[in-house]
Amino acid sequence: MKPVHLPVNPKILVTRTDRIGDLVLTTPVFQALRERFPKAWIAALVFIEHRDIVKDNPYLDEVILYDKKGSEKGLWGQFCFSVRLRAKKFDLVIHCHGTNRMHLAGWLAGVPVRLGYDRRAPWALTHAHAYDKKLGEKRETEYLFDLLAPLGIACPGKIEACFPVSGSAARSLENLLFHLKVPADKKLIVLSPSASDRTKMWPAAKFAELAARLQKEAGAVLLAVGSLKDKPVVESLREKSAVPIVDLGGKLTLGMLGALLKRAALLVSNDSGPVHIATAVGCPVVSIFGRHEPGLGPDRWKPLGTKCRVVAKDVSDIPASERKYTYIEDITVDEVHRAVSDLLHPRELDPGSSSRGWRGVEGGGLK
C-alpha cells in the first residue's frame, strides 16, 4: 500500500467488530499507534458487549460502542451511526477486521484515509491490503502490523496484549466467589469447555477426566466458565465429572472473567476468547486446537503469552489431501495433562518423556 500522510496530531479510529479473542489480539495495535503518534486522539470502535475489554485501555482516548443487535441493526441505524461518526472528524480509520458494515461506516463518515483488507466492500477503502490472513502463516497480530506498515509502524519483536482489570470487576468477582463458597486461600484452575464452533470443542468427558486428575494432584478448586448460551456445555462437564466443579457459566462479565483469570493458577481451554484474555492478564494457559486448516489453526491463533502450551495433533505425516477438518476428538487426556504438568510442575517432568502430540508455546513462538 502507498504511504499515508496525516496531520501532526491525527484523530485515529480503529475498528474491530468480531469475536472476543480477536479484539484482545488487536490491543497491541493501540499501543503501537500511541507510540508512533504520542499526541494523537485514538479511539476504538467495538461491539457494545465487548466494552470491558477496552474501556480501561491506557492507550485509548475513546471507546465507541456499536450495537449491531440493537440501535445499529438496520440500514437506518447504520446510516445514523455513520452520521454520528462523521461528527467526530477522524483523519484515519483502520479496519482490523473487514466487514461491509465497518467499511461502509468509514466511507459514509467521510474519513479521509481508510485502511483495511481487500474483501467485503473494498471500494470503500482508500488503502486496501491483500487479504492474506487466510493463509495462516503467522499470528493474527502480526498480520495486523502488516496493515500498519503505511503508517511507518513495524511489528515489534515482543507482542503483548492488554486487558486491564478494573477494581469494580475484581470486587464483583470476589463477591460472587464468596457467595459460591469458594475458599479464598485455594489455588484456582479454570476450565473453558465451550467455543464458537463445535469442531473446536474438546469432548466434555475428556475435560471431566482431566479435572479429576487435576483435583487429585493440585488440590485446587476447579471452576468452569462460559457465556449464558454455553451453560449446557458447562452443565455437561459437571455432570460427567467425578469431582466438584464450580459452575460460572453465564455468571461473569468479561471484566470479571479477566479478574478471575488474573487470580487463577491455570486455564485449560479450547481455542476461544478466554485463552487470549488469560495471556493478557498473565495467567498460564493450555490451549487445545483441533483444526489445522490454513487460517484456522494454531499458527495464526496461538496465544501471545510466555506461559502457554498448545495441544494439537501432529499432522505433519498426513498428506494435506487426506487430513480431516478437525482432530479435536483425537486429542487425548494424557496429551493435555502433560502440557498442564509442564506449566504447573516444570521440574517434575521426566526429561525423556515423549512430547509427541502436543506443541508448546513459549515467548509467542511454536516449538
Residue 156 lies in a domain: no
Answer yes or no: do 197 and 114 share one domain.
Answer: no
Residue that finishes a domain, picked among 151, 183, 199 = 151
Domain count, the chain: 2
pLDDT of residue 350: 42
d(CA 29, CA 161): 9
Ordered alpha helix ranges (H), the chain:
20-24, 27-36, 51-54, 75-86, 100-108, 140-147, 167-179, 204-218, 231-240, 254-263, 273-281, 298-301, 333-344
Answer yes or no: do 231 and 100 share one domain.
Answer: no
- Per DSSP bridges, beta strands 359-362 and 308-312 are antiparallel
pLDDT of residue 365: 34
Q: Which domain holds residue 35?
A: 11-151
d(CA 352, CA 114): 53
Answer yes or no: do 194 and 299 share one domain.
Answer: yes
Q: Is the pLDDT of residue 348 over 60?
A: no
Query: Hey, how many other C-beta atoms are within 10 angstroms of the C-beta on 3?
Result: 9
Q: Which residue has the cell 479464598?
A: 184
Give the residue among 168, 141, 163 at the shortest CA–CA distance from 60.
Answer: 163
Answer yes or no: do 52 and 90 share one domain.
Answer: yes
**3-state class of 72 per DSSP?**
coil
Answer yes or no: do 105 and 230 share one domain.
Answer: no
In the sheet with 308-312, reading across from the earlier edge strand, the strands are 246-247, 221-224, 188-192, 266-270, 285-289, 308-312, 359-362, 365-366
Residue 171 lies in a domain: yes
Residue 79 lies in a domain: yes
Residues 6+ apart with CB under 8 A from 317: none
Among 1-15, 270-284, 300-314, 335-349, where is mean pLDDT lowest? 335-349
The answer to whether residues 140 and 97 touch, using CB atoms and an 8 Å cutoff, is no
Q: Could you give phi then psi for residue 163, rounded to 5 degrees?
A: -145, 85
The answer to whether residues 192 and 269 touch, using CB atoms and an 8 Å cutoff, is yes
Give the residue among 267, 280, 330 at the shortest CA–CA distance from 306.
Answer: 280
Helix 333-344 to helix 204-218 angle (10° resolution) is: 40
Answer yes or no: do 256 and 332 share one domain.
Answer: yes
d(CA 267, CA 340): 9
Residue 1 lies in a domain: no
The answer to whether residues 21 and 194 touch, using CB atoms and an 8 Å cutoff, is no
C-alpha dihedral, 290 to 277 to 191 to 195, nearest 10°: -40
Residue 161 lies in a domain: no
Residue that finishes a domain, picked among 119, 151, 183 = 151
Q: Which pLDDT tens digit goes with each residue over 35-69?
A: 999 999 999 999 999 999 999 999 999 999 999 99
pLDDT of residue 346: 72
Residue that finishes a domain, picked among 151, 181, 206 = 151
pLDDT of residue 347: 59
Question: Which pLDDT band, with edges at 50, 70 and 90, does 161 fall under?
Answer: very high
Q: Which pLDDT tens digit goes with each residue over 331-347?
A: 999 999 999 999 998 75
Q: Which cell numbers in the block locate residue 62? A: 475513546
pLDDT of residue 276: 97
Answer yes or no: do 193 and 109 share one domain.
Answer: no
Percent of the chain with pLDDT over 90: 85
Give, in order, the Cα–Cα distances in Å from 340 to each of 78, 238, 267, 351: 46, 20, 9, 15
Answer yes or no: do 99 and 230 share one domain.
Answer: no
Answer yes or no: do 257 and 211 share one domain.
Answer: yes
What is the pTM (predicted TM-score) of this model?
Answer: 0.92
Answer yes or no: do 181 and 304 share one domain.
Answer: yes
Answer yes or no: do 299 and 208 share one domain.
Answer: yes
CATH classification of the domain holding 36: 3.40.50.2000
Give the residue among 71, 73, 126 at the shortest CA–CA distance from 101.
Answer: 73
Of 355 and 7, more confident: 7
Q: Is the pLDDT of residue 287 over 80?
A: yes
Residue 157 lies in a domain: no
Averaged pLDDT, 294-299: 91
Answer yes or no: do 121 and 172 share one domain.
Answer: no
Give, in order, the Cα–Cα distances in Å from 37 to each of 9, 48, 256: 7, 26, 32
d(CA 201, CA 191): 12
Residues 6+ apart with CB under 8 A from 98: 116, 117, 119, 120, 122, 131
Residue 18 lies in a domain: yes
Residue 3 lies in a domain: no
